[in-house]
Amino acid sequence: MPTINGKGQASTLSNDDIDKILSLASMTYRGVFAIAAFTGCRISEALSLDAKFLDLKCGSITFTETKTKTDRTVPIDPELMEILTGLDLPIHGYLFSSPKTSGHLTRSGAGKELKAICDDLGLVGVSTHSFRRSLATVLHSNGAPLKSIASITGHKSLDSLQRYIDITPEDQRSALALRRR
């Protein structure tokens, strides 16, 4: 997929863009995209989730199949909770199992669905990684401490996390306004 200014980074999405994507996603991928958007996980982490690690009673998701090989538990946002309780999710095995294999849905399948949706919406430079970048960016813009964001996204260093965060002109104005406080 195209990237922003050829820099190899997926576009960030507004909350409205994410809402539109989720409304157009098939029932097969709606939960996958929602988990990625509301937890900042990698798409492969959402796809490989085992049902036993989704705790709707306690309101948390534990990611165990992570790039860093470190488990992390993320609270479930109320909007994500609403989406997940509206889906017919299994109570055993993969949350997003493939109807064609004994495994889970694939990254390429998720990417194809997302690309088709984004083409329909006229969104450019979007990939499944856009959900991850978008959450980090919006949390930062809303004042969340970097360490809190890293604990959600699973980034091991603040340097790597900072590459995910887009700074807008509004962010710059807000930062400069702090000089007057």
What DSSP string runs through 60-123? EEEE-S-TTS--EEEEPPHHHHHHHHTS---SSSBTTB-SSSSSBPPHHHHHHHHHHHHHHHT-
DSSP, res 7: S
Averaged pLDDT score across all residues of the chain: 90
| 29-62 tens-digit pLDDT | 999 999 999 999 999 999 999 999 999 999 999 9
- Assigned CATH topology for domain 10-176: hpI Integrase; Chain A (1.10.443)
For the chain, domain boundaries = 10-176
| 93-138 tens-digit pLDDT | 999 998 888 789 999 999 999 999 999 999 999 999 999 999 999 9
